[in-house]
Structure 1
Amino acid sequence: MDLILWRHAQAHALPLDEALQARAEAGEDLTVHIDMAQDLARTLTPKGERQAERMAQWLNQRLPDTTRVLVSPAQRTQQTALALGRTFKTVKSINPQASVDDLLEAARWPRARDAVLLVGHQPTLGMLAARLLTGQDLAWSVRKGAVWWLRSRERDGHTSVTLHAVQPPDFL
């Protein structure tokens, strides 16, 4: 099974008041302070739109026609996926607060017959790649607009996962 992870392209920042901005700059995790509706409404920047278009072109040259495209309900991921020009399904469980297990379940890993493209968010995409490639929950970074292409194979009752490709948008 091929599992392709596509992080949404560059999006406009969430407006923060001065106190929250200072806490963010100090490295504090502000997840509990962020208004989910505001976060889901964030849109791509002009640079993000260009990143999504370039990556969509690269993907469309490589993705099988039968690929299932599953997308977070966030506006920025919807815009990223629209660049593909393919039918996709919005899956609530792929939201910015999703867990690695949520993504694996949505993708039907490793049982899906067809390739699956997940358009989602950090840190979950990086953690998913780390778990599948190392067996550990590690905080790996997936750049904005980048794709990580993973491939699983079952042999002698064991599933092995290989990193098929990593493509950042700035190399296109």
Structure 2
Amino acid sequence: MHLILWRHAEAEDGRDDLARALTARGQHEAQRSAAWLKDQLRERPVRVLASQARRAQQTALAFTPQFGIDPRLNPDVPAASYLAAAGWPHADTAVLLVGHQPTLGWLASLLLAGTELDWDVRKSGVWWLEYHPGGGMQARLDAVYAPS
């Protein structure tokens, strides 16, 4: 299974966290990351899920208009929530999750190092993981992309 973690791009400040929209810079970053993802995925089937936050949905939209919205990817959820949404490690297609810090960093460290650490996934950054059989939740890091 391929699990692709994509942090939403730069967003406006605001009190209603789920309503915050991408800035102009964020839209540009999302387009750059989406172009890289499209090039890497080419004709590989992928299921795309975004949180209920507007900024995550706008980021996903840069890649495809066909994405699901899943509250298990909302801000401030545990890493296990993202794993459940993705169907890790048994999904039959690649899964692209558009979500938030610090959960994305916790998830990447859990799958790569075996424990949740405060790893930084930059805005509009992509971490591409692949399930590596051998017990537990082991993964291999295939690629990291940052639009800057």
TM range (shorter): over 0.9
Aligned CA-pair RMSD: 1.4
Distance in 1 (CA, whole Å) between partners of 2:144 and 2:23 is: 23
Asked if residue 12 in structure 1 is aligned to residue 43 in structure 2, the reply is no
Task: Please list every run of at least 4 consecutive aligned residues from structure 1 whose deviation after the TM superposition is greater than 3 angstroms.
Answer: 157-160
Distance in 1 (CA, whole Å) between partners of 2:94 and 2:3 is: 6
Residue of 69, 72, 94 corresponding to 1:115: 94
Helix, strand or coil for the counterpart of 1:143? coil
The Cα shift of 1:144 comes to: 0.4
Match of 1:58 in 2: 36
The Cα shift of 1:98 comes to: 1.4
Distance in 2 (CA, whole Å) between partners of 1:159 and 1:47 is: 35
Percent identity of the aligned residues?
50
Q: 1:122 to 1:159 in 2, by over 3 A?
A: closer
The Cα shift of 1:153 comes to: 2.5
The C-alpha deviation readout for 1:2-60, integer Å capped at 9, x for no partner, is 10000000001225xxxxxxxxxxxxxxxxxxxxxx00000000000000001111101
Distance in 2 (CA, whole Å) between partners of 1:76 and 1:90 is: 12
One-letter code aligned to 2:87 = R
User: What is the TM-score with the length of structure 1 in the denominator?
Assistant: 0.81
Asked if residue 79 in structure 1 is aligned to residue 33 in structure 2, the reply is no
Asked if residue 150 in structure 1 is aligned to residue 115 in structure 2, the reply is no
One-letter code aligned to 1:12 = E
Distance in 1 (CA, whole Å) between partners of 2:52 and 2:5 is: 16
Structure 1 unaligned blocks of 5 or more: 16-37
The C-alpha deviation readout for 1:127-172, integer Å capped at 9, x for no partner, is 00000000011110100010000011325x67641110110111xx
Larger Rg, first or second structure (1 or 2): 1
**How many residues were matched structurally?**
147
